A and B are shown apart, each in its own frame.
Chain A
Amino acid sequence: MAGARTLAIIAGSACAAALAFGLSGYHLFQLTMVVTYAIAILGLNIVTGYNGQISLGHGAFYAIGAYVTAILISNYDVPYWATLPVSALICAAFGFAFGLPALRLGGLYLALTTFALAVALPQLLKYPALEPWTGGVQGIVISKPEAPFGLKLSADQWLYLFTLAIGAVMFLLAANLLSGRIGRAIRAVRDNPIAAEAMGVDLALLKTRTFAVSALYTGVAGSLGAIAVQFVAPDSFSVFLSITLFVGLVVGGVASISGAIFGAAFIVFVPNLAEQVSKAAAGAVYGVILIAFLYFIPSGFAGMARRILQRMLPQRPAMVVRAEVGARENGHA
């Protein structure tokens, strides 16, 4: 099972990599953003989908990652690829510190606190004392990296392949983490905290660590996003970024690894279509689709795809799969 998943991720990435040679600059940029948001939503999924802790403020970690990368590149001349580990560490530390008080409380309180974080974030980023680093309201402009080693690739192609490679590694790591012992503990905390505690899981510590891992993922996504967009400013990280990630999570599929990719594709392409109608339409479409999914397709695109696959391949060990899906739908979404 684990081998199959690894193969699927590698094969999928290889197919996605082939797209680099057939598409124009703007479409490649969009695909780069899909991969970036997929990593961010995967991070959110780890804490909200698998661990059952609702975060409405993951845009904050995305913003921290983006700013760490932008500041390191513009102020300290660090090469763009070397900023990723730094931003991962810093975001994990922030996640741990923020999760420490917030996660001891029930789900709703965490949702509230993280929502407050998301609303207050632009103001914190504009704080004058931080301006030498953050550039204040103007933000920071960074330049697009060129392909290294004399490769005959355009900057867009290289950036897409680079992002895709990072994404593939992060998806593999997450898949391994979640299918192993720790992943079972993470899900046990969501489904039955009392039983999990009785089995020897340290609830507060596991929740806080999960939150840190989740912040790490979303932070790395923020770094990749900053490199792709070449610009960071406080107003790009409003509360709607956090809400967008949340929408991607629900629409893609809660507690599903492939759901993160569906969700990311949704939040990149659907607003583009909706904005042709009106500037406001994107929000309304998000809202209506979010509510509709919660009522009618609570397992998201990933759940839908899984169900279709099951119907097409009835000879597979359906009982195990069905039990897993059932547990997900009962416990969550």
Chain B
Amino acid sequence: MIGLLHQILSGLVTGGIYASVALALVMIYQSTHHVNFAQGEMATFSTYIALALIDAGLPYWGAFVATVVISFIMGAVIQIVLMRPMANAPVLSSVGVFIGLLLVFNSLTGWIFSYTIKSFPSPFESSRPLLGGFLSPHELGATVVTLAVLVAVYLFFRHTKLGLAMRAAAFNPVSSRLVGIRVGHMLALGWGLAATLGAVAGMMIAPVVFLDPNMMSGILLYAFAGALLGGIDNPAGAVIGGFAVGVIENLGGAYVVGTELKLSLALFTIVAVLVFRPNGLFGRVLVTRV
């Protein structure tokens, strides 16, 4: 029983990371109907930037904020330079550009920061275990940060004028433009936010899994599974889906398939969702003209 509780708790911890990346994917999907295959590699790149800043002597939280800002700019610039001309391109082209981005970021990371596995510092160092040894201080801290970010994103979209404008631009670009919303700016902003979410997720998971250029490829897969499980057009659903996938992964890894097949669980989740509930648990049922 204690073991089960432990598994569920640590599943929720990693689930928070998946939820952030899933939310980043859904934000881009909602506004452009693109799935960003490079989301994971962009997050890894941001995490390396954070490490470089810390190594350069910045305090942890200073590096954290700087990385968030740099990632935001990076995401927005990619949208403006690369994705804007692809707005009406066929699916194959947009998928191709994302795969190209994935390759570029992956090898740039290896090129600039080397392929050796590095450890990443955690700001939540403390010698005593918390909650009766269930969670390490880092796990608890990472969860608090992740949840804070998710709540901030929710409040931003729900209660600010800019958030409303962004939702409008995603929901109906033509009408939004007619009422004076700069749809292009909103898309760039959305990309920036998505890159930021990924960067935070990367910095929070790096102390646990260690930093190497392929760090996020597995996490991206779980995030895909989470986004699909929750419904790829529903941000709240994606967050819940991300947490659920974290728990499924941990319980499945501990009791069903063993740790060797943990990654395949994500694949099975994706296939199962697509077969039995293609719109996810909370997604809108999509009606297309036949």
Q: How far is the CB of A288 from chain B (nearest CB, A)?
A: 6
Instruction: Write out the residue numbers on chain B whose beta carbons fall within 8 Å of the beta carbon of A102.
Output: 271, 274
Instruction: Write out the residue numbers on chain B whose beta carbons fall within 8 Å of the beta carbon of A246.
Output: 96, 99
Instruction: Write out the residue numbers on chain A whose beta carbons fall within 8 Å of the beta carbon of B218.
Output: 119
Contact with A along B92-113 (1 / 0, CB 8 A): 1101110111111111101100
Report B's interface with A, CB cutoff 8 A: 33, 35, 37, 82, 85, 89-93, 95-97, 99-108, 110-111, 115, 217-218, 220-221, 224-225, 228, 260-264, 266-267, 270-271, 274-275, 278, 290
Instruction: Write out the residue numbers on chain B whose beta carbons fall within 8 Å of the beta carbon of A310.
Output: none
Give the dominant DSSP class at B's interface. Answer: helix
Closest 4 A/B residue pairs (Cβ): A283-B107, A287-B103, A287-B104, A280-B111
Q: How far is the CB of B130 from chain A (nearest CB, A)?
A: 32
Give the dominant DSSP class at A's interface. Answer: helix
Can you list 21 contacts pairing A with B, beta carbon distance less than 8 Å? Answer: A54-B92, A56-B99, A102-B274, A109-B278, A111-B37, A111-B91, A112-B224, A115-B224, A116-B224, A119-B267, A120-B263, A243-B103, A250-B96, A279-B115, A280-B108, A280-B115, A283-B106, A284-B104, A284-B111, A290-B99, A332-B92
Whether the pair B261, A56 counts as a contact (CB closer than 8 A) is no
Q: Which of A279, A294, A298 has the most CB of B within 10 A?
A: A294
Interface of chain A residues 240 through 298 with chain B (CB within 8 A):
243, 246-247, 250, 254, 278-284, 286-288, 290-291, 294-295, 298
Whether the pair B260, A127 counts as a contact (CB closer than 8 A) is yes
Whether the pair B91, A107 counts as a contact (CB closer than 8 A) is yes
Cα distance, A172 to B97, chains bound together (Å): 32
Instruction: Write out the residue numbers on chain B whose beta carbons fall within 8 Å of the beta carbon of A282.
Output: 107
Whether the pair B95, A111 counts as a contact (CB closer than 8 A) is yes
Report A's interface with B, CB cutoff 8 A: 48, 52, 54, 56, 101-102, 105, 107-109, 111-113, 115-117, 119-120, 123-124, 126-128, 194, 239, 243, 246-247, 250, 254, 278-284, 286-288, 290-291, 294-295, 298, 331-333
Beyond contacts A119-B221, A246-B96: 14 other A-B pairs, Cβ-Cβ < 8 A, are A52-B92, A56-B37, A111-B35, A113-B267, A115-B37, A116-B270, A120-B264, A123-B263, A239-B217, A247-B103, A280-B111, A287-B100, A287-B106, A288-B100
Q: Which of B90, B107, B221, B270 has the most CB of A within 10 A?
A: B107
